[in-house]
Amino acid sequence: MSDDLEAQQTPSRVVVEQIHEQPKRTTAWGKIRSAIREPMAEFIGTALLVIFGAGSACSVVLSTNRDVASSNKGDFLSINFGWAIGIAMGVWVSGGISGGHINPAVTLTMAVWRGFPWKKVPAYIGAQILGGLVGAAIIYGSYFHAIDIFEGPGVRTEATAGFFATYALPYMTPASCFFAEFLATAILSMMVLAMTDKRNMMPTTGLLPLGLFLLFMGFGVSLGMQTAYALNPARDFGPRLFLSMAGYGKEVYTYRNHYWIWCPIIAPIVGAQAGAALYDLFLFEEPTIFNRKSGY
């Protein structure tokens, strides 16, 4: 009797097991979402960086006009806080998904020195630049009327372009500008590698954004005055692309003999590679091109 009962139950058990063993079907949207998830994280992270950073610059500078606000809404330190909060929020939202690069210089550093897949690099950099553009557009739209009051209806000059893209102080020579961005991004690259090095004092995953917050506060108060510390090609080029669409004209590109390409793009990329090379040469203990024969 028990054998008959077991025989009757067996088919139903088999059906249930087969149902559970069937692979989950992925919808078309699911496939698309999976394909774009990492670039979207980079896009959103970079957009947040620019929203907080450019937003703080708009708030502080535009409020100096008494037709905009009755009192000043901050100072240079406030702008530093804005960019530092932006980097922390951007990495918090993207770090667990894409690694939280939100910077082409960091993406290239990870590809060259840490085995990040080169096939992902174009999508990451494209998403970062687009994120910078959209972040700038959001803040520009939010402060559009205040900018009109500050500069005059329809007038757009470097006075407000500097809220979004970087410009150097007048006394800075081209070599000084390049070195300032090179130095700061080299330090950024070394610190990113140190904060993600398991054999160093690597913070827990949740504390990495806090470490970057402190790092960018340091950049702002120590190295930020002279070139507005771009350190990030997407943070400058994305907003600069938007400015050229928003009526600021070709001057955003012709400024200082095409400053936009050699200072906030080339200098950070070269500086990040130099910083990574310095870290791996003297501090990193995993196998690299520098210590491959040293027994590590």
Condensed to tens digits (0 to 9), the pLDDT of residues 13-49 reads: 544 455 455 556 779 888 999 999 999 999 999 999 9
Tokens of 84: 């530092």
Largest CA distance in the chain: 98
Residue 256 DSSP class: T
Nearby residues of 99 by Cβ (< 8 Å), 6 or more positions away: 110, 116
Q: How far apart are CA 195 and CA 211, in angstroms?
A: 8
The predicted model gives 218-246 an average pLDDT of 97
Helix (H, G, I), strand (E, B) or coil at 255: coil
The one-letter code for the residue type at 281 is: L
Spell out the domains of the chain, with CATH numbers in brackets. Answer: 36-282 (1.20.1080.10)
The predicted model gives 119-136 an average pLDDT of 98
The predicted model gives 165-177 an average pLDDT of 97
The predicted model gives 223-235 an average pLDDT of 97
pLDDT in tens, 49-78: 999 999 999 999 999 999 999 999 999 999
- How deeply is 187 buried, as exposed, middle or buried, from its count of CB atoms within 10 A (0-12, 13-18, 19+)? buried
pLDDT of 10 strictly over 80: no
Read off the pTM. 0.89
204: confidence class by pLDDT, cuts 50, 70, 90: confident
Tokens of 249: 């004209």
Q: Tell me, what's the pLDDT at 3?
A: 52
Contact 105, 21 (CB under 8 A): no
pLDDT of 296 strictly over 50: no
Q: How far apart are CA 133 and CA 127, in angstroms?
A: 10
The predicted model gives 192-204 an average pLDDT of 92
